[in-house]
Amino acid sequence: MIERTRRQFISGIGAAALGSLLNGANHFPAKAKRVIYLHQSGAPSQLDLFDPKPKLAERFGEELPDSIRKGQRLTGMTSNQKSFPVAPSKFKFAQHGKSGTWLSELLPHTASIVDDITVIKSMHTEAINHDPAITFIQTGSQIAGRPCFGSWLSYGLGSENKDLPAFVVLISRGSGRRFDQPLYDRLWGSGFLPTRYQGVKFRSGGDPVLYLSNPDGVSPRVRRSMLDDIAALNESNRKDFHDPEIATRIAQYEMAFRMQTSVPELTDLSKEPESTFALYGPDARTPGTYAANCILARRMAERGVRFIQLYHMGWDHHESVPRQLPPQCMDADQPSAALIKDLKQRGLFDDTLIVWGGEFGRTIYSQGVLTKQTYGRDHHPRCYTIWLAGGGIKRGLSFGETDDYSYNIVDKPVHVHDVNATLLHCLGIDHTRLTYRYQGRDFRLTDVEGVVRKEILA
Amino acid sequence: MAGLRLDVEAEAKTAAIVPGDPGASRILKRINHPNDALRMPPAHLGHKRLTPSEAKLIERWIVQGAKWQTHWAFVRPTTSALSDIDAFVAARLSKEGLRMSVPATRAQLLRRVSFDITGLPPSPAELREFEKTGDYAKAVDRLLASPRYGEKWAVEWLDAARYADTHGYQVDPEKNMWAWRDWVIEAYNKNMPYDRFLTEQLAGDLLPNATLSQKIATGFNRNHRVNTEAGSIAEEFHNENIVDRMSTAGTVFMGLTIGCARCHDHKYDPISNRDFYRFYAFFNNVKEIGTGGPRDGRGNLQPVLKLPDAELEAKAEEARGRVVRQRAVLREVEAKLEKESLAWREPRWEVMKPAQLRSDNGATLSLEPDGSIVSTGKRPDRDIYTLQVNAPSNEITGFRIELMPDARFPQGGSGRGDDGKGVLTLFEVERDGGEKLDLGTVSATGQSPESILDRVVRPMRQLKRGWSVDPDVAVPYYAVVETKTMIAGGRFTIRLGNEFGEGALLGRFRISVTSDEFPEPVKEAEKSKQAFLVSHQKERRDAGDELARLQAEQRQIEQKLPSTMVMAEMETPRDTFILARGAYDKPGEKVTPGVPSFLLPMPEGAKADRLALAKWLTDPAHPLTARVAVNRLWQSLFGMGLVKTSEDFGSQGETPSHPELLDYLALEYIKSGWDTKAMIRRIVMSAAYKQSSKATPALVEKDPENRLLARGPRVRLAAEMIRDQALAVSGLLHEKIGGAPVKPYQPEGLWEQLSVIDDQKLYVQSKGADLYRRSLYTYWKRTVPPPSLTTFDAPTREFCSTRRPLSTTPLQALALLNDETYVEASRKLAERMMLEGGATLAARIRFGFALATSRLPTVSELAVLQVGFERRLAAYRANAGATAKLLEAGESPREPSLNAVELAAYTTVASVLLNLDEVITKQ
């Protein structure tokens, strides 16, 4: 009933599945219609991937100067460490493309798309542990309970496809640290927004959507006959009680029936040409991999899914960056780049926003013993790198600078709220005006902050 | 005007507002200012300009003298002339030119009130009785007396109190708070007065001569999440935990969003930043660790209360006795052996040179002259080596694995990992012919803290651990794997290596065997030889093994001893400071416990602790407590509170639809001695509640949310009720109250997809009757809550929630149609239709329809179901395979006497019934 009034205000029955707060009327013209959010869960090391510090090679093993650390807080994992030795990256960096964007040798495929993306090297956040940090980046608050980006967007813009959910979640495990990074349903939850705005998690094993398949022994014909009975009886009750909710339920049963066809059609990659699998790389044929999920993301973009949220786990490299990072990059590099190329060749790049990044950065000092061969890196919220691409975003830009240790930001800091404000802007939404009243307060994704960063807008 | 607070009368009246003089009131100039930059409220913050009529209203108010009023909810409820729910409702309706609807039918009413009081539908017998007598008061009293009453109302309180079976956050380990949950059910069933209900939960431990039950009740304040993620900062999460406690208390008892004053003075309500931390101080005096600290056998965090369990305690006592006795036996054996002079003999190890070497993933293995094996070439992440060996024909008591440093490996270590380590996660021995040896204890000369030696011989499927050396990598180490019994020699296949990953392969190693009686190496040998020998005599070892077994048994029993988390005050109170912008690491001024005194002053002289807080909250003069409580009761019965925002009675909350009625109910509640059952009875006895919920399009247009109450409530059932009803009407429901949580059907792999994978943390489905318990007993894992409930808007229980949203989604349709729970319930409901419904199709459908809807179908409804049945009967007749498969749904046995094809067709009819909007709705 909480939802009822709003729905009745915004739309007639037919539009229930497509209903949205803004009802198609954006605050200003949208550059992008949808989002593909490639969250790299666990926090990739900016020092080994995006933010080269060649001068540090000479400072191998030196103590991180206090003038850099400035007494900032550390996690419980390294706060007892007696020494904070500088661990320069073992990986080689080079400039790529016309833009001359720096990347490490671990991202050879990303190197081929640098002229299509904006790399922000001056990201910063507030949390220092995974749960609060992911929660923060996705909901604008470290404390659980607020809607995530995808929920805000499906609340704000609704769906473009009457046969599929507006907000879909795909999860893959990484090769870097296979079993150490949990996720949780709340991350794609709708918080205080009505439940129908929450993300629908697609799974690689079993039903792609929970309870999607008919039970064993129920054929499509039997199911259709049952649905016809349900619709007829619900309709007779509706005529008796005149509750618009009954009409909504009738419509949602039909949507469920359509999903039984549309979702398997969507997740069936068997008709993809060989060239697709070649583009996305060797993992692409294995269901549940990041590569396979990137193909699914493109297929969802084609079908009008509004918010496509990927999580790739396994970036939390506390102990052995040189050993754990390369296989993790092998998972993520080619499919991410392939997705950009694929969207471009299909004419979807210009109206799709793509976000690639983790929840914070990693420390220049080694967690655990530093040796010539190996080093670990702890969590670091004060600076990290993400990249953005697609509708409304500049192409071939490298934005912001960190200090000599990639420890503090020295130029153009970009806060998590700024990114979210900017993304909403590209989607035609004023982040201060996409609000929902709860507990007497108008909440929004960017809390009370967030600045649209015009510098990175095309 | 920066910093000006218009909600503070004195401040506003300095210049902004001059009563009676609109010309001098600067506020009007600013509201009407033509310049965007100067106009208030500020356009650059996204605020809309006030409409001319709004501006006029303010002007008129100033002309009339600009009278200030305290927010309604912060003033004590007042009595009014009316003294009956229906009088208030009728008065409001007549203002709108509306009237109440006709009463609901008897069947509708009994169905409505049964769900509202017990969360379950009425039985056919109850319906028959009520249809006959119409004795509504009797029916209500019967329902209120049912033990199902406590279970229904507990669900709402569990949401508010964020009850769960895990601690939450990323790691989400298990905890055990169901003693508290059962306390809640019992409190409702015993009709504990609300003031006591509140007091025992807030401060049961501080009551004079606190009983066990009163202490259990304080678990209310320990239900919040705890972040046990490695590396979390204890002070940071201590702060979060306290804030959660006080925000929850503020919301559920006072309908106040106190949490808003965490960083600054509340923007809308008169709660200052200082008030926030004074309130915080009440909850800050518990001996606890912000990130949890050690967990007891039940996963609970200190302070913990041990709960009595006579049977288990007796068992534990016996087990402890056995341990004590065995210890004495052991001492005797040792004393005896020490007197004997034993001959020392160095363990003799015989190196085994493998006849064949092979690696699974491509490392190159070669044999050195000293019998060691060296791994070179390709370095895969994981690799298992297979060695064919010929062991001497003597009996074997142990295997030794030597790791030998070598300059070819990083840091001159013995392994190929980046740090020169090799990790051993697997060592298994197979006799020629396929028999796998049963291996015993593993010991080593040095191991890293992360090592779990036993996993080397008993690996887990997912979480690979084992032996990695520590601290120095460039020295030799060895591990010994004992056999459980003497093994005859012969040809063996040994498989060993690293399945953990990271390329930390064994670099250079050597395998030996021994026939000595005590192959165990290591630490023991550093002690005196005599002691070592004694400790390794068979007699001593047998006695020691027995002691270890008994100790393990004792531990196992003791871990089962129930406990629950409670509140307990520290002897030396912890200081509370105002935290700058809410940050735990920026303490400022020190404060003492105190309440937002604008509501009601704290009694003077009382010690400011949680008990005083409870007394303050339950003081009849408190403006909020009773209003908030009765409003939630109303919300539960009507689908929406008189104050719609049941979580916020502050100035930003919605104003009540019937303010006088709310006050009347609040005062009656207090007058009755906070009698909850009496209040529920009073509400459900009203004509307003008993109305038909049928609307007209015009009424829906005028009052879509039914705030005016010109019709009865029509609200979708809560998640738990939907499942419980399916279990009830199918005859599956198991009505046991309380106890450990249960794990009903859940799609496979849900936990595994997201969580840290550990064989002990998989979802292990319950068996038998536990599959059919009421849904409030379903195991609640916060990071992956039960999907059959969250699909129907149950919250995640991560934080306080006093109001569930109600959505209508396609996922709900899929769940009701396809979830095993509902397919099985349909099958069992179909059996009931065939067994109890009569002989004809029409009679059986009528019977099932009545069970699901509490009414009989109309002629056309019956026709729809009959035609559908016949169509599907034909389909199943033509497909025996489908019939058999459908009837396999669920674990409950099938009634063998029934014709399978017919049962399948009836199952589809039953499923149709359980999917009807009418069935999952209270109407």
CB spacing of A441 vs B652 below 8 angstroms? yes
For A172, which residue in chain B has the nearest alpha carbon? B753
CA distance B670 to B618: 9
**Burial of B363 per CB tally in 10 Å (0-12, 13-18, 19+):** buried
Distance CA B656, CA B665 (A): 13
Residue A161 lies in a domain: yes
Q: Does the pLDDT of residue B759 top 60, yes or no?
A: no
Searching chain A, which residue's CA lies closest to the CA of residue B758? A179
Q: What is the pLDDT of residue B113?
A: 98
Is A167 a domain residue? yes
State pLDDT tens for residues A395-411: 999 999 999 999 999 99
Q: pLDDT digits over B149-207, tens only?
A: 999 999 999 999 999 999 988 888 899 999 999 999 999 999 999 999 999 999 999 99
Here the CATH number for the domain that contains residue A429 is 3.40.720
Q: Chain B residue with minimal CA distance to A243?
A: B695
- A241 belongs to a structural domain: no
- How many domains in chain A? 1
Q: Which residues of A touch B917 (CB under 8 A)?
A: 234, 237-238, 245-246, 249-250
Digit-coded pLDDT (tens) for B887-912: 999 999 999 999 999 999 999 999 99
B760 pLDDT higher than 90: no
Query: For B317-367, how does the pLDDT look when each residue is reduced to its tens digit (9 = 90+)?
Result: 999 999 999 999 999 988 888 787 666 566 688 899 999 999 999 999 999
Cα B847 to Cα B128: distance, rounded to the nearest angstrom: 13
Average pLDDT of chain A, as a whole number = 89
**Mean pLDDT on A325-330:** 94
Interchain contact B859–A (C-beta under 8 A): no
Q: Which carries the bigger pLDDT value, residue B727 or residue B18?
A: B727
pLDDT greater at residue B58 or residue A79: B58
User: CATH 2.60.120 region(s) of chain B?
Assistant: 350-524
Q: How far apart are CA A7 and CA A444, in angstroms?
A: 19
pLDDT band at A91 (very low <50, low <70, confident <90, very high): very high
Output helix, strand, coil percentages for chain A, rounded to the nearest 5.
Answer: 40, 20, 45
Residue B509, SS3 per DSSP: strand
Residue B543: band (very low, low, confident or very high) from pLDDT cuts 50, 70, 90: confident
Confidence of residue A9 (pLDDT cuts 50, 70, 90): very low
Q: What is the pLDDT of residues A96-110, one digit of tens each?
A: 999 999 999 999 999
Does residue A96 fall inside a structural domain?
Answer: yes
Which residues on adjacent β-strands are paired with residue A355? Answer: A37, A388
Lowest-confidence segment of A179-188, A332-341, B163-172, B374-383 by average pLDDT: A179-188
The pLDDT tens digits for A174-233 are 887 765 567 888 888 888 887 778 898 898 877 899 999 999 999 999 999 999 999 999
Q: Do A226 and B811 touch (CB under 8 A)?
A: no
Task: Calculate mean pLDDT across residues B34-54.
Answer: 79
Rounded Cα distance, B432 and B137, in Å: 80
Question: Please, which residues 782-811 of chain B have a Cβ atom closer than 8 Å to chain A?
Answer: 782-785, 787, 790-791, 793, 796, 798-799, 803, 805-811
Q: Is B358 helix (H, G, I), strand (E, B) or coil?
A: strand
Has residue B481 got a pLDDT over 70? yes
| pLDDT for the residue B518 | 61
Pairwise CA distance, residues B27 & B266, whole Å = 22
Q: Which residue has the higher pLDDT, B905 or A132?
A: B905
Q: Is B753 on the interface with A (CB under 8 A)?
A: yes
Q: What is the Cα–Cα distance from B247 to B260, expressed in whole angstroms?
A: 9
Residue the block writes with tokens 């270590």: B413
Please tell me which of A127-131, A413-417, B376-380, B513-517 the model is most confident about, judged by mean pLDDT. A413-417
Q: How confident is the model at residue B531 (pLDDT cuts 50, 70, 90)?
A: low
Q: What pLDDT score was predicted for residue A7? A: 36
Q: For the residues B762-781, what does the mean pLDDT come to?
A: 95
CB-based contact, B291 to chain A, within 8 Å: yes
Question: C-alpha distances in angstroms, B244 versus A296, B226, B305, B486, B593?
Answer: 39, 10, 22, 59, 17
Percent of all residues in chain A with a pLDDT value above 70, rounded to a whole number: 93
Give mean pLDDT, residues B794-801.
91
What mean pLDDT value characterizes chain B? Answer: 90
Distance CA A299, CA A309 (A): 13
What does each C-alpha distance from B738 to A358, B183, B184, B221, B577 come to in angstroms?
Answer: 43, 9, 10, 20, 41
Return the closest-CA partner of residue B217 out of B566, B590, B533. Answer: B566
Chain B from 716 to 745: CB within 8 A of any A CB = 716
**Of the partner residues A195, A210, A374, the one whose CB lies closest to the CB of residue B419:** A374
Predicted local confidence at residue B535, as pLDDT: 65
Element holding B232 (H helix, E strand): none
Look at A178-182, A261-265, B124-128 and tell me which has the smallest mean pLDDT: A178-182
* CB pair distance less than 8 Å for B871 and A225: yes
> Residues B679, B684, B685, CA angle at the centre, nearest 5°?
95
Is B449 at the interface with chain A, CB within 8 A? no
Q: Which residue of A has its CA nearest to B901?
A: A217
Q: Check residue A389 and report its DSSP letter.
A: E
Instruction: Please judge whether A218 and B879 are an interchain contact, meaning their C-beta atoms are less than 8 angstroms apart.
Output: no
Distance (Å, rounded) from C-alpha B434 to C-alpha B490?
A: 13
- What integer pLDDT is reported at residue A6 of this predicted model? 36
Confidence of residue B1 (pLDDT cuts 50, 70, 90): very low
DSSP A113-160: GGGGEEEEEEEE-S--SHHHHHHHHHHS-SSTTSPPHHHHHHHHH--S
Question: Do the Cβ atoms of B602 and B614 come closer than 8 Å?
Answer: no
Enter the CATH code of domain B350-524: 2.60.120
Residue B68 is predicted with a pLDDT of 81
Q: Residue A92 domain-assigned?
A: yes
Structure tokens, B294: 């050690």
Helix B148-160 and helix B178-189, axial crossing angle in degrees, nearest 10: 130
Test the B interface: residue of A181, A195, A197, A238 with most B CBs within 10 Å: A195
Rounded CA-CA distance A228/B912 in Å is 9
B231 touches chain A (CB under 8 A): yes
Q: What is the mean pLDDT of residues B101-111?
A: 97
Give a yes or no: residue A105 inside a domain: yes
CB atoms within 10 A of CB B317: 12
Q: What are phi and psi of A407, to 5 degrees?
A: -110, -40
Instruction: Determine contact, residues A131/A183, Cβ cutoff 8 Å.
Output: no
Q: Average pLDDT, stretch A143-152?
A: 90
Digit-coded pLDDT (tens) for B230-274:
778 888 889 999 999 999 999 999 999 887 777 777 777 788 889
B229·A130 Cβ contact <8 A: yes
Lowest mean pLDDT among A145-154, B551-560, B756-765: B756-765
Give the distance from CA A41 to its chain's centroid.
9
Do the domain assignments include residue A188? yes
- Specify the 3-state DSSP secondary structure of B403: strand
Grade residue B12 by pLDDT with cuts at 50, 70 and 90: confident
Residue A12 has pLDDT above 50, yes or no: no
Tell me what pLDDT residue B695 has: 94
Judge whether residue A295 has pLDDT over 70: yes
- What pLDDT score was predicted for residue B845? 98
Q: What is the pLDDT of residues B388-436, one digit of tens each?
A: 998 876 788 889 999 999 999 988 899 998 888 899 999 999 988 888 8
User: Does the pLDDT at position B786 exceed 60?
Assistant: yes
Q: Which residue has the higher pLDDT, A302 or A12?
A: A302
Chain A contact for B652 (CB, 8 A cutoff): yes
Host domain of residue A73: 2-12+26-211+276-368+377-456
Q: Give the per-residue pLDDT at A19.
A: 46
pLDDT greater at residue A99 or residue B10:
A99
Of the pLDDT bands very low, low, confident and very high (cuts 50, 70, 90), residue A1 is very low
- What is the C-alpha separation between A122 and A356, in angstroms, rounded? 14
pLDDT of residue B520: 56
